[in-house]
Homo-oligomer: A and B are copies of this chain.
Amino acid sequence: MRTVALRPHDPMTDRCHSKPPTARDCASCPHHHVDVLAATPEPERERLRGFFRLREYLPRETVYVQRDTGAHVALIREGLVKLVLYSPAGTERIVRLAMPGDAIGLELMLGGHFHHTAVALTEVQLCQMPLAVVDERFAHAPGFAKKVLAEWHASVDDAERFLTDLSTGSANARVARLLIYLQERVGAASCPAIGRDDMAALLGITTETTSRVVAELKRDGRLRETAQGRWEYDAKALRSLAEGASSPH
């Protein structure tokens, strides 16, 4: 098992957009369900926070690259991150979308290197936790270990949903299911609009086909893109499409 040297925060060696979270930051963190610091007394919590780092990424920025080694697990506080793999033919395939409340890079606990390439789709804010802290909590706090399992399980569920919902059926149905999936996962009235290329990489179809489907949905008003870059859609119509209906009817 590798050990990771922990040093307190030093602004001089700090890369841009990086600082430790404050107690207020942690209070507003969407990761109440992971809760690394639960059952840790406050003075110790404060000390540990010094080892964490808040980081921000712009759309299209790379968070980490497959096969790279890493020493930090990241908790997403805001935004959308795609995790991609490459098919034997070399085409990009998105295998997971990570959102606020998700953890990425947990596979570092097993082999020390990343299994995907992670790229920000929107503006992203995340909190980096040293692997050493995660490992330590995992070994000594059974409650936390179970939460890590649950987080891991969320990855499996996601991948399997991609298989059953987003990789089967007609192009129409897949696009509809993706929009529904996004809205469900984000849990808001609208969901972030993503590019046609990324939709295609999620659905296993081509960019052109995706564009045709989206364009037609927009033409007859079943879907529209707001000025803030979010989708709004007619839920009933989309659900019908998702079931396999071929046209408006």
Q: In the complex, which residues of chain B have a beta carbon less than 8 angstroms from the beta carbon of A163?
A: 85, 93, 95, 159, 162-163, 167, 204
Q: Across the interface, name the chain B residue whose C-beta is closest to A167.
A: B167
Q: Are B164 and A93 in contact (CB under 8 A)?
A: yes
Main secondary structure of the interface of A (DSSP, over half): helix
- For A, the interface residue count at a CB cutoff of 8 angstroms equals 41
- Which one of B138, B159, B173 lies within 8 Å of A159 (CB-CB)? B159
Q: How far is the CA of A96 from the CA of B210 in the complex (A)?
A: 28
Q: Are A88 and B138 in contact (CB under 8 A)?
A: no
Q: How many copies altogether? A: 2
Q: How far is the CA of A140 from the CA of B107 in the complex (A)?
A: 22
| Interface residues as binary, A138-182 with B (CB distance below 8 Å gives 1, 0 otherwise) | 111010011011101101110110111101110001000100000
Q: How far is the CA of A140 from the CA of B109 in the complex (A)?
A: 18
Q: Are A145 and B139 in contact (CB under 8 A)?
A: yes
Q: How far is the CA of A12 from the CA of B14 in the complex (A)?
A: 68
27 CB contacts below 8 A, A to B, read: A85-B164, A86-B164, A87-B168, A88-B164, A88-B165, A88-B173, A88-B177, A88-B244, A89-B173, A89-B243, A91-B168, A93-B168, A95-B164, A109-B149, A110-B146, A138-B145, A138-B146, A139-B142, A139-B145, A149-B149, A149-B152, A152-B153, A156-B159, A159-B163, A162-B163, A167-B167, A168-B204
